[in-house]
Amino acid sequence: MSSSSTANPSAADETLRGQIFQRLHPRVYLERFIAEKIRPDGRAFDEWRNVSVNVGSISTADGSALVRMGDTTIVCGVKAEIAEPELDRPDQGFLVPNIDLPAICSPKFKPGPPTEEAQVLSDKLNEALVASGALSLDSLCIHPGKAVWTLYVDCTCINYDGNAFDAALLAMLGALRNTTLPKATYDEERGRTTCSRKTRSPLRLTRNFASMSFGVLDTSHVLSDPTAFEEPLIDVALTVIVDDRGELISTTESGGAISEETLLRCISRAKERALQLQKLL
Amino acid sequence: MAQSGIDRRRINGPEESFPPLFDDDDDDIELKTRRGRAPGDIRPISRSISQANGSAYIETEKTKIACAVYGPRQSKTTTYSEKGRLNVEVKFTPFSCTRRRAPIRDAEDRSLAVSIHQAIVSSIRLELFPKSTIDVFITIIENDGIEGCIASGSLAASAALADAGIEMLGLVASCSAAIIGDDIQLDPSEAEARASSGTVILACMPALDSITSVWQSGQMSADIALKCMEQCHERCIDIHSIVAQSLLEHRGTN
């Protein structure tokens, strides 16, 4: 060991030791940070990661959005197709959201059919879009009983660093707001629909909303926007969806019991954050 | 009863839906007003996927490809293999093509994966990783023709492998060409490739002046095919220096 450069080798050693400790004892590693009132990536407990939204970059999709929430990167595209409506709902179109967590985004996902995590996320996103009523399905009708628009809203995660649900919901909303549909006319005689490339009109979205996720550690520490490292270590996962008027759309909680006070605190924090996010969209 | 394509693992829409038919589709696509694509347009961005060992993102006019490399990691198979294995998987997002693709993997994904595998496998020193697998995952976010995908995909894969620090003999650069009439057009778009009489995709290692793979399809004389390969090779040399430069710059800032 050279005596002249003593500072550099030990700094590299320390980083390596820290990384090994993080791998072998993740919970203790996190608790050491929590004790100092800070998180491993340097954020305070109630701090959110930087969010950036980029819309309309994909020309093959009718609407698209790319959302980056810290390192979590989700790209969403909307494709519109024409279908026959359901018999009992002749003037309603279809909205089909889906999220895919492919092997590219994280070492914990293997190639193959959607994992349980992806299926649960798809289902939660579907519920959120339906519960909020952001897009009225009646507006997707071309000709009652014969032709309606079907919007396939597909999200793909490119980089998974935790909190995919928030990012995906934001991406879906961004893509839907960016979507334009061509003008469609249904020909009764020939029974088919033709569209015009020249006129495109945007979708009519009734409300804007955003979702905020929290993780609760040891029943008292509430971490907002958990990363991929923190996610498996938290005891309770809590998601609050708030719209742009401050109204609550949905609250989901899983993993354990939390006090009412924690729940109300999270809801009020979510409302504050929702106002900040509105400026992005 | 006919097999209705219900995928139980995803949210399903209506049983059948059709892409919109446009009444003004007969307008001829302007092939002449084509923006000249300079080699400098392809510049992979590294470190875009923090979870992976190495990654690259390539964006050209209408092609966006993200590539991540995981490895070398343990092989799932128990059979001993002296050389490491390279596993390439390609996935199209449903909105990447003009007509929506179902998320099910089909033959096109696999044939693309095989082409890219062939282009890069001879550049990696697999004998240094016995019993290990290197996984290369490619996601095609926007697609402008299969030839462009194979060319940009091979480039992204090679840049991602370099970003991961995996030992290679050289960087692989790849370029495609299409014969339209009597002209050779480099980097054809989907419309151009469809209007052409044949295409050539060349992958090579300019650092070692060797070719790793050639795919030729369509009708063309041997002379024209060789001319295409020469032009692709020249373009590949330019692309190689740009990619090497951007990788060095990136490493310099780390």
**Contact between chains at A158 and B89 (C-beta distance less than 8 A):** no
CB contacts under 8 A, A 190-219 vs B, are 192-198
CB < 8 Å to A118, chain B: 9
Distance of alpha carbon A218 from alpha carbon B254, whole angstroms: 37
User: What is the nearest CA distance from A88 to chain B, expressed in angstroms?
Assistant: 13
pLDDT at B3: 39
User: B110 and chain A: CB distance < 8 Å anywhere?
Assistant: no
pLDDT at B252: 66
Confidence of residue A208 (pLDDT cuts 50, 70, 90): confident
B231: left (phi over 0), alpha (psi -120 to 50) or beta: alpha
Confidence of residue B35 (pLDDT cuts 50, 70, 90): low
**Contact between chains at B49 and A75 (C-beta distance less than 8 A):** no
Residue for token digits 């009983």? A145
Task: Extract the tokens encoding B133.
Answer: 């697998």
| Segments of chain B assigned E as strands | 17-18, 45-46, 54-59, 64-74, 85-92, 132-142, 173-180, 183-186, 198-205, 210-218
- Read off the pLDDT of each residue in A188-207 and give the average, rounded to a whole number: 84
- Report yes or no: B10 and A119 within 8 Å, Cβ to Cβ: yes
Distance of alpha carbon A159 from alpha carbon A172, whole angstroms: 17
pLDDT at B33: 46
- Per residue in B195-205, pLDDT tens? 899 999 999 99
**Contact between chains at A60 and B97 (C-beta distance less than 8 A):** yes
DSSP classification of residue B123: T
User: B113 and chain A: CB distance < 8 Å anywhere?
Assistant: no
Nearest CA to A103 among A89, A90, A116, A114? A114
User: What is the nearest CA distance from B250 to chain A, expressed in angstroms?
Assistant: 18
Per-residue pLDDT for B1 more than 80? no
Distance of alpha carbon B11 from alpha carbon B13, whole angstroms: 7
A242, containing H or E segment = strand A236-243
Report the residue from B12, B14, B95 with minimal CB separation from A79.
B95
Report the residue from B13, B21, B66 with minimal CB separation from A150.
B13
- Per residue in A129-166, pLDDT tens? 887 888 888 888 888 888 899 999 999 999 999 899 99
Confidence of residue B251 (pLDDT cuts 50, 70, 90): confident
- Read off the pLDDT of each residue in A58-81 and give the average, rounded to a whole number: 93
pLDDT at A176: 93
Confidence of residue A2 (pLDDT cuts 50, 70, 90): very low
CB contacts under 8 A, A 17-46 vs B, are none
- Read off the pLDDT of each residue in B37-63 and give the average, rounded to a whole number: 79
pLDDT at A53: 92
Distance of alpha carbon B159 from alpha carbon B3, whole angstroms: 43
CB < 8 Å to B91, chain A: 102, 104
- Per residue in B6-16, pLDDT tens? 778 888 888 88
Q: Best mutation site among A57, A67, A104, A198 for testing chain B: the one with the most B CBs within 10 Å?
A: A104
CB < 8 Å to A193, chain B: 20-21
- Per residue in A7-59, pLDDT tens? 566 888 888 998 899 999 999 999 999 999 999 989 999 889 999 999 999 98
Beta-carbon-side half-sphere exposure of residue B131 (alpha carbons within 13 Å): 4
Helix, strand and coil content of chain A, in percent to the nearest 5, comes to 30, 35, 35
Beta-carbon-side half-sphere exposure of residue A76 (alpha carbons within 13 Å): 35
Distances (CA, A) of A259 to A200, A231, A235, A237: 50, 20, 13, 13
User: A106 and chain B: CB distance < 8 Å anywhere?
Assistant: yes
* Beta-strand relationship, A248-254 and A236-243: antiparallel
Task: Extract the tokens encoding B48.
Answer: 């875009």
- Report yes or no: B202 and B214 within 8 Å, Cβ to Cβ: yes
CB contacts under 8 A, B 179-238 vs A, are none
pLDDT at B225: 92
User: What is the nearest CA distance from B143 to chain A, expressed in angstroms?
Assistant: 8
- Read off the pLDDT of each residue in B198-224 and give the average, rounded to a whole number: 93
**Contact between chains at A192 and B21 (C-beta distance less than 8 A):** yes
**Contact between chains at B98 and A60 (C-beta distance less than 8 A):** yes
User: What is the nearest CA distance from B157 to chain A, expressed in angstroms?
Assistant: 12
User: B47 and chain A: CB distance < 8 Å anywhere?
Assistant: no
Under 8 Å CB pairs connecting chains A and B tally to: 147
pLDDT at B78: 77
What residue in A sits closest to B67 (Cα-Cα)?
A: A104
User: What is the nearest CA distance from A262 to chain B, expressed in angstroms?
Assistant: 32
CB < 8 Å to A153, chain B: none
Distance of alpha carbon B154 from alpha carbon B113, whole angstroms: 10
pLDDT at A4: 46
- Per residue in A235-258, pLDDT tens? 999 999 988 888 888 888 888 888
**Contact between chains at A77 and B94 (C-beta distance less than 8 A):** yes
pLDDT at B24: 66
DSSP classification of residue A205: B
- Read off the pLDDT of each residue in B121-125 and give the average, rounded to a whole number: 94
pLDDT at B2: 37
Per-residue pLDDT for B40 more than 70? no
What residue in B sits closest to A80 (Cα-Cα)?
A: B19
Distance of alpha carbon B253 from alpha carbon B212, whole angstroms: 31
Confidence of residue B227 (pLDDT cuts 50, 70, 90): very high
pLDDT at A276: 83
pLDDT at B231: 92
User: A84 and chain B: CB distance < 8 Å anywhere?
Assistant: yes
What residue in B sits closest to A124 (Cα-Cα)?
A: B11
